[in-house]
Structure 1
């Protein structure tokens, strides 16, 4: 039997285990409150983004559990040690030829609801999602407000289900297809990273990069963080190819480049001294990501992008067109994170239209932090979450009786 993995930087109070959830063996980290409570503690679900893991929440789980919450962070479908039942967990665990239906958004929400019930709960104090996990958390709130009593989106604004055009006239091309053509027509030609992640080549590019997987992941985490000098995030103008081209190259790439080539460019890649001073992600911690992605590759996570960029896999969400999030909602982002501005107007649409109970003070930016805000500024994120949760915590949010 293989030795259990080590998790540098993981507080000893956080436990690791796997649960059978539908067609998956779901790996979770969990932290129970070290306080005496009447009844079961309220549940918090934390959903990571790309290319992250449940491990990415390690810095905020214990403070949240110390406040009286049962905190659970799963490796989501396609990531880490969560695996399809009956399939050997190897480097080719996920393939480009896989059926994409399990990775469509409606099924990702089903994964979370099924996890909640497997844990013995029927309600969740809040679902918190970062990056792509923000979209999943938002859809959890939209679809099952009876289960999820509050929602927190981080880094990626959530704007609801796909729109249903009035009058029944569908556009000839999806927005991402139209954008892709426009970006390719620029000088020099460009491409959106979500379309790159949807290609067959992307997984091989990123799993076996010329600089090595560790150097690639170090550069990728660094260049999207508040530590990189180029992240001076700001609102952009009206949507157009020229507007999107103002984003850093890790969002709107040069047409002929891979992501490893992009983050290795001069002015992007970190120096040895910059990596040595990256206190929020140590060398031991980056090795966890290297180890896990060496085992799984990136295809499982990229399958989500393939569903997001192909309208066939969002068709079933159109039944929710026009529906609003009607539970308390918050958005948290680093002030140096371009993610909140990468699609012009989405931040405003989320706070003014999609989330009916999102107040002005519920849109929080954390100074000097970048995209990995829960890892870069865990103390501020924890305090912000606890303040929000205290304001919106119902009287009873325990396990099913």
Structure 2
């Protein structure tokens, strides 16, 4: 970051980027990936994946607090965004005509696997994603549970991978046709409404969407200000609630999700732009921090991010996800969003399906809607996000079956009796003493009625007493 501009401070740091967060470029596959990071490289790794239209800097408010809790925290500009570049499009901004295949979900998962390996890790404590980054994080955990030990999904629920026709002799094959999103199936019904409407992902998949936003009539700064505003808790009109999967119900959502048929997203944002007074009261995204987004998207355009939406509609580039049909996320999982975020309910039934089917280890306590936040939850209410992330990581990411992760315990004579018990896989955040008491009813061998395992830092000291001695 050698240049100084509106979005940067004189010393070349982004506005809003706390001291202690560093920026560097990392060669990965066909990419030169820009990452923000903090924390010791020897600490457990957290990977933070942004959504659209965002950047790594969207995590600026939570990177350092998580690093100070004992993690190596890394947030990349993802493929097609920000300072990350590809040799495939090295001559300039990504165009609609460029090859779409690099943006298919499996290739994006490959990017994040390669990032972890490039950083020297064969285990990631948690992959945390927001918006479209949530979908990517979900697929990372789904496909590589050996690498990604837990997952946090923000804003966008994960209802599972695309399905395949099952027992076609007994069911209607038409009910199981491939799609990575329900939106294409709703296009005709939405267009038939009075007034006619369209799904925002349909618009984002058009050749015109990038140019509309990149060269917004009101200016890029005003467009992004309006877009961030209407999807936040600052816009009082937002009143999210569960919906049925019919066009009329979907049409009750704001226009930034279910758009007027012939409208552009710049027009939608302009119609609901904040007043100067509302902008002045915005503490979570002041103008100097918004300028970072303006500068980056003015340089790159939006096509790299929009290509992910196009993949939802393109069977040729995304049908390979059906190889995971019926598979669940089996690592600990959390869902977190703002209570004023329509993203929670925009795909009817997805929230319930995520909890009941798609994620086998997502407890009711780990489905969290945060007051005072809309779609941009980690920016609007960072303290609450940090609190819930730490709570989840303390309990979930730090647990593994005794003797499997802690090699220092493998030789303990009583290990076979204690396999059902959980201990921290890595040090507790506060390095405090954890005691786990094994009671007779938890073991199958009565000759070991009581055992105490103490874990402090990376060291495990096992003590046991035999009541029959």
TM-score by length of 1: 0.94
1:71 paired with 2:73, answer: yes
Distance apart, 1:164 and its partner CA: 0.9
Match of 1:372 among 365, 376, 398: 376
Aligned to 1:80: 82
For CA contacts below 8 A with separation 6 or more, give which structure has more relative contact order.
1
Distance apart, 1:274 and its partner CA: 0.4
User: Whole-Å Cα distance in 2 between the matches of residues 214 and 73 of structure 1?
Assistant: 24
User: Whole-Å Cα distance in 2 between the matches of residues 185 and 87 of structure 1?
Assistant: 39
Aligned to 2:42: 40
Match of 2:212 among 205, 215, 240: 205
Kindly provide the CA deviation profile for residues 221-250 of structure 1, in whole angstroms up to 9, marking residues without a partner as x: 0000000011111112x2011111011000
User: Whole-Å Cα distance in 1 between the matches of residues 284 and 215 of structure 2?
Assistant: 25
Q: How does 1:50-65 map to 2 (within 5 A)?
A: 50-65=52-67
Q: Tell me, yes or no, if the aligned pair for 2:48 and 2:128 is still in contact at 8 Å.
A: yes
Two-structure CA RMSD over aligned residues (Å): 1.6
User: Whole-Å Cα distance in 2 between the matches of residues 397 and 247 of structure 1?
Assistant: 44
Unaligned runs of 5+ in 1: 34-38
- Change in 2 beyond 3 A, CA 1:375/1:87: same
Distance apart, 1:87 and its partner CA: 4.4
Match of 2:289 among 279, 285, 291: 285
Aligned to 2:248: 242
User: Whole-Å Cα distance in 2 between the matches of residues 47 and 2 of structure 1?
Assistant: 24
Q: How does 1:1-400 map to 2 (within 5 A)?
A: 2-3=2-3, 5-33=12-40, 40-85=42-87, 87-88=89-90, 90=92, 93-168=93-168, 169-170=173-174, 174=179, 175-236=182-243, 238-265=244-271, 268-392=272-396, 393-394=398-399, 395-396=424-425
Distance apart, 1:40 and its partner CA: 1.7
User: Whole-Å Cα distance in 2 between the matches of residues 355 and 137 of structure 1?
Assistant: 13
Q: Tell me, yes or no, if the aligned pair for 1:79 and 1:300 is still in contact at 8 Å.
A: yes
Give the 3-state SS of the residue equivalent to 1:264 in structure 2: helix
TM-score by length of 2: 0.80
User: Whole-Å Cα distance in 2 between the matches of residues 239 and 3 of structure 1?
Assistant: 49
Q: Tell me, yes or no, if the aligned pair for 1:124 and 1:397 is still in contact at 8 Å.
A: no
User: Whole-Å Cα distance in 2 between the matches of residues 51 and 357 of structure 1?
Assistant: 30
Give the 3-state SS of the residue equivalent to 2:73 in structure 1: strand
Distance apart, 1:397 and its partner CA: 5.9
Distance apart, 1:308 and its partner CA: 1.3
Give the 3-state SS of the residue equivalent to 2:194 in structure 1: coil
User: Whole-Å Cα distance in 1 between the matches of residues 132 and 317 of structure 2?
Assistant: 16
Q: Tell me, yes or no, if the aligned pair for 1:30 and 1:71 is still in contact at 8 Å.
A: yes
Kindly provide the CA deviation profile for residues 31-86 of structure 1, in whole angstroms up to 9, marking residues without a partner as x: 015xxxxx920000000000000000000011100000000000000100001037
User: Whole-Å Cα distance in 2 between the matches of residues 262 and 188 of structure 1?
Assistant: 15
User: Whole-Å Cα distance in 2 between the matches of residues 87 and 185 of structure 1?
Assistant: 39
User: Whole-Å Cα distance in 1 between the matches of residues 106 and 3 of structure 2?
Assistant: 36
Q: Tell me, yes or no, if the aligned pair for 1:89 and 1:295 is still in contact at 8 Å.
A: no
User: Whole-Å Cα distance in 1 between the matches of residues 142 and 426 of structure 2?
Assistant: 19
Q: Which has the larger radius of gyration?
A: 2
Give the 3-state SS of the residue equivalent to 1:79 in structure 2: coil
Kindly provide the CA deviation profile for residues 193-221 of structure 1, in whole angstroms up to 9, marking residues without a partner as x: 00100000000000001100000000000
Kindly provide the CA deviation profile for residues 329-381 of structure 1, in whole angstroms up to 9, marking residues without a partner as x: 00000000000000111000001110001011010010021000000000000
Aligned to 1:36: none
Unaligned runs of 5+ in 2: 5-11, 400-423, 428-469
After alignment, is 307-316 or 344-353 more displaced? 307-316
How many residue pairs get aligned? The number is 388
- Change in 2 beyond 3 A, CA 1:2/1:360: closer
Aligned to 2:8: none
Kindly provide the CA deviation profile for residues 111-161 of structure 1, in whole angstroms up to 9, marking residues without a partner as x: 000000000000000000000000000000000000000000000001121
Distance apart, 1:170 and its partner CA: 4.5
- Change in 2 beyond 3 A, CA 1:329/1:378: same
User: Whole-Å Cα distance in 2 between the matches of residues 89 and 380 of structure 1?
Assistant: 42
Q: Tell me, yes or no, if the aligned pair for 1:41 and 1:397 is still in contact at 8 Å.
A: no
User: Whole-Å Cα distance in 2 between the matches of residues 180 and 173 of structure 1?
Assistant: 16
User: Whole-Å Cα distance in 1 between the matches of residues 37 and 302 of structure 2?
Assistant: 24
Q: Tell me, yes or no, if the aligned pair for 1:43 and 1:397 is still in contact at 8 Å.
A: no
